[in-house]
Amino acid sequence: NAGVTQTPKFQVLKTGQSMTLQCAQDMNHNSMYWYRQDPGMGLRLIYYSASEGTTDKGEVPNGYNVSRLNKREFSLRLESAAPSQTSVYFCASSERRRGQTQYFGPGTRLLVL
Amino acid sequence: GQQLNQSPQSMFIQEGEDVSMNCTSSSIFNTWLWYKQEPGEGPVLLIALYKAGELTSNGRLTAQFGITRKDSFLNISASIPSDVGIYFCAGQGDSNYQLIWGAGTKLIIKP
């Protein structure tokens, strides 16, 4: 099993460009999450999906949209990238949303110029 | 909102030394998790704690869920070079399904 996979690994965007970060998990988990990680800070939750067909805002949702395409896949979209969105983005999944450990992908490093 | 204070921010230690780090919360948690992150990778779960007072070991690592439910500790005994990385605590409360994360403790081992 690959666990949680993310594509791309690296991306450089110009301000105003759009892109979609892809995430897939093969552990049959119900819940999936998108985080961003900035230097000196812990992980901050952008959006999560408790189960297929549902999505909810996390701590820092502004400037992002998500799609839970099916049970395996959860994508994060930046419609109009801004330099403040330069960060490392992590996708995670868990069996259920509450009291369950989350398993992380390797991350996508995004630079917005 | 809920906050987690994780300390220390960084530690410089000699190989073979024991390491201690902790997290404190402004509110009660029902779950405490400890993760390790190595450069270029996502966080990997080390220990999960689900009950106040619980003490759990994973090899040389030991973590405790504080009795007040507002803190947790991670100890690493006899550190080795592969222990370097950033250690994160994360907690989950009753009314909020999100994990709250500490800012991390960076562990550096002096040669």
- DSSP string of chain A? ---EEEE-SEEEE-TT--EEEEEEESS--SEEEEEEE-TTS-EEEEEEESSTT--EE-S--TTEEEEE-SSSBEEEEESS--GGG-EEEEEEEESSSSS---EE---EEEEE-
> Measured between CB atoms, does A48 come within 8 Å of chain B?
yes
Q: What are B8-63's pLDDT values in tens digits?
A: 999 999 999 999 999 999 889 999 999 999 988 999 999 999 999 999 999 999 99
Q: Do A50 and B97 touch (CB under 8 A)?
A: yes
> Measured between CB atoms, does B33 come within 8 Å of chain A?
yes
Name which of A101, A103, A108, A109 to mutate to probe chain B: the one with the most chain B Cβ atoms within 10 A of its Cβ: A101
Q: Do A43 and B88 touch (CB under 8 A)?
A: yes
Q: CA of B35 to nearest chain A CA: how many angstroms apart?
A: 10
Q: What are A18-70's pLDDT values in tens digits?
A: 999 999 999 999 999 999 999 877 889 999 998 888 999 998 999 999 999 89
